[in-house]
A = this chain, B = another copy of it.
Amino acid sequence: MIVNDYFSMKLLDEQLHFIDQTKLPIKEEYIRTDSYERIAVAIERLEIRGAPAIGVAAAYALALSTKNNFSENIFFTAYHRLISTRPTAVNLSWALNEIRNCFEQNRNSEKVYDLLIAKAVEINNSEFQACENIGENGLAIFMKKSKVLTHCNTGRLATAGEGTAFNVIKKGFNKNLVSFVYADETRPLFQGSRLTAFELEKNNIPYKVITDSTAAHLMKLGEIDLVITGADRIAANGDSANKIGTYNLAVLCSFHKIPFFIAAPFSTIDKKISSGNEIIIELRKSEELSMINRIELTSSKYEFLNYAFDVTPSELITGIITDEKIFSFPYNFNE
C-alpha cells in the first residue's frame, strides 16, 4: 500500500483543495474552492473535521474572503460566519483571531490578501510542526512495546500535519514501541472505522476496529496497555473536551489502572477557561443517530440526545502530550 498518497487540505492556485471526509473511505474525493462560505459549509457538514484541521481551514477561508472585491464588511461577515460553524474547538477561534489581528494591522495595505494568505500558510506550517513535535514528545509514554486504544480520528485527516494522538501512535509504531492498535469505531459518525482505519491501512499499522462499548471488555482481558486520544479544547486546569466517549475511556482506564493520555497542540489549551465546567458541549442533530447515509436506520420520529463531546476531568488524565512537552497532573500550563 502506498503511504502519503492523501492529504487533508492544501492551498494550490489560490484555492483550497480538501478531501471530503464524509465520503471516506468509500470514495477519495477532493473539493476545490476559494469561497469562504463553501469552507464554512464544509466545516459544518464535517467534510473538514478535527480541531486542528478546522482551525487551519478556517484561517485559509478567512484569508480567501479578501481575494476578490475585498471589503471590511465582507471580512467581518466571513469572520462571524466561520467562528459560528463549530462551538467546541478552540483552534477555530484561535486561528481566526490570528488572521483577524493580521487584518487589523494591515487593513490599509494593498497587499492585505497576500499578507493574510501568508499568515494562513504560517499557521498551517506551525500546525504541521506541532504535530511533528507531539509525535516526538509522545514517544516517552511507551514503557514497553504496547497495544494502544484510540478514539475518533486524530491523524493527517484531522490536522494540518501527521496527526496528534495518531502521530504518537505512528511514530511509536515506526520505533517498534507500538505493536497493535484498537480503534473505536466512534459513533455516531464512525470516524474510527472510516477515517482512522483508512489511515492505519495507509501506514501498514496492524489494528482492529471495535464498537465503542468493547473497550472495557478488552481492558479486562489485558489487551490494552494504554489509551491516547486527541482534544478539542483543554481548560487551564487540564480538563479536556473531546469526542463523546473520551470521558468513558478515561473512567475505564482509571478502573483498570491503565494510563490515559491526551495529545494536542499547545494551541488547544484555552487559558481563559479555568475548568471544564465552562466548556459548552455541542449538541448535534438527531439524524446522526437515526439515519446512516441518508437511509433511516430507525424511526427518525423517535427521541434522541446527541452530545458530540464530553469533558474528561484532569485527574483522570495521566499526561497531556503537547508540542512543547508532556504535562502531567496537577496541570500548570504556565510552567
Contact = CB atoms under 8 A, between A and B. Distances in A.
Nearest to A206: B303
Interface residues of A, number: 52
B187 A187 contact: yes
Interface in A283-306: 289-290, 292-293, 295-299, 302-306
B297 A213 contact: no
Interface string A164-203: 0000000000000000001011011010011001100100
A236 interface: no
A213 B227 CA distance: 15
Given A185-B289, A211-B212, A252-B251, A217 B197 contact: no
A215 B213 CA distance: 10
A207 interface: yes
Given A187-B211, A193-B289, A304-B209, A248 B216 contact: yes
Given A185-B289, A187-B185, A254-B255, A210 B304 contact: yes
Contacts of A26: 296, 298-299
Smallest CB-CB A-B distances: 9 pairs = A213-B245, A216-B248, A217-B310, A208-B305, A187-B211, A212-B213, A197-B302, A193-B298, A194-B298
Interface of A: 25-26, 182, 184-185, 187-188, 190, 193-194, 197-198, 201, 206-217, 220, 244-245, 247-248, 251-252, 254-255, 281, 289-290, 292-293, 295-299, 302-307, 310-311
